[in-house]
Each structure stands twice: as C-alpha cells, then as structure tokens.
C-alpha cells in the first residue's frame, strides 16, 4: 500500500498474534504456531506508542478496552479480544481507522519492536508481512 494511501477500516482489519516470523503472507487458518502474549503487556505496548491514549480501562472489562491515536485528521482506534485459554491471552486487536498507510505501519512496527509475533490481519483472513501490506494495490 502506498505510504500516501488511506487506510480505512471499521474493524475489518486487526493486529493479531502469530508466529515469530512470517516469510510471506499466510491465511490465518493455516497458522500452526502462535506466540501467546499477556493482555496487560499488549495494552502497555499500545499505550507506549506516542500519542496513543486509553479510552476504556481494563477495569471495566478487557473486552471493552479501547485506545485511540490521533494526528490531524488521522486516527487509529484499537480494542482487545482474548483467547479462551487458561491465562486469557491476547487474541488480537480489531482496528477502526482512517489514516495514512504509513501511520498504521508505524504503529505496527512499534508493536513488533516489543513483540515480534504481531501481524496485520485483513478481512480475508490473510496475515500480512510489512512487504505484502506495502505491495497492496490502493
């Protein structure tokens, strides 16, 4: 996706846990190896991104947790989903956004610098690499 292109979604895209490395995009239903991350660590990583602010606290419910980043007319809002494992690990973060492709890439890079196995997941169940996201037609 061209850096100047608009990334617009109403929770059709998500940040999701996956393998530590992806050589190419893959259908998320074919993923066998998923790194599990604690919810609090992922929440802290989102909130450590410059300009990201908490909208709804986990004290209410992790399923209602929300954070938002804004800059000029751009925004990215993320939520939380949980895996149904004994630790209730992070299952992903649905994205609502209207921002430049470079803004979503910057947030994704920030998250991956802290948790290597985080990928961008599209509405067709494809887990993208940075290269495949950048190469998408506008």
CATH number at residue 59: 3.30.310
Band of the pLDDT at 2, cuts 50, 70, 90? low
Is residue 128 predicted with pLDDT exceeding 80?
Answer: yes
Residues above pLDDT 90, as percent of the chain: 82
Query: Is 130 domain-assigned?
Result: yes
Q: What pTM, to 2 d.p., does this model score?
A: 0.93
- Banded pLDDT at 11 (limits 50, 70, 90): confident
Tokens at residue 38, please? 């604690």
Please tell me the predicted confidence (pLDDT) of residue 34.
94
Q: Which residues contact 129 (CB under 8 A, 6 or more apart)?
A: 22, 23, 24, 25, 119
Mean pLDDT of the 23-31 span: 94
Of 65, 67, 60, 58, which is closest to residue 80 (Cα–Cα)? 65
Number of domains comprising the chain: 1
Residue 1 domain flag:
no
Q: Is the pLDDT of residue 130 over 80?
A: yes
Which residue segment(s) compose the domain that 95 sits in? 6-135
Among the residue ranges 11-15, 110-114, 134-138, the one predicted with the least confidence is 134-138
Asked if 28 contacts 124 with a C-beta cutoff of 8 angstroms, the reply is no
Over residues 17-32, the mean pLDDT reads 94
Percent of the chain with pLDDT over 70: 96
Running DSSP on this structure, what letter comes out for residue 81?
Answer: E
Helix axes of 39-47 and 101-114: crossing angle, nearest 10 degrees: 130
pLDDT digits (tens, 9 = 90+) for 34-47: 999 999 999 999 99
- pLDDT, one tens digit per residue, over 56-107 is 998 878 999 999 999 999 999 999 999 988 888 999 999 999 999 999 999 9
Asked if residue 74 belongs to a domain, the reply is yes
């Amino acid at each position: 996706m061209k850096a100047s292109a608009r990334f617009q979604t109403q929770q059709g895209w998500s940040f999701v846990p996956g393998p530590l490395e992806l050589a190419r995009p893959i259908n998320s239903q074919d993923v066998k190896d998923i790194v599990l991350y604690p919810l609090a660590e992922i929440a802290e990583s989102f909130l450590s991104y410059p300009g990201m602010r908490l909208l709804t606290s986990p004290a209410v419910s992790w399923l209602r947790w929300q954070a938002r980043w804004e800059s000029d007319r751009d925004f990215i809002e993320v939520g939380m989903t949980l895996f149904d494992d004994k630790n209730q690990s992070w299952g992903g973060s649905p994205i609502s956004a209207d921002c430049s492709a470079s803004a979503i890439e910057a947030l994704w890079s920030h998250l991956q610098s802290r948790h290597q196995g985080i990928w961008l997941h599209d509405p067709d169940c494809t887990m993208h690499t940075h290269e495949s996201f950048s190469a998408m037609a506008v």
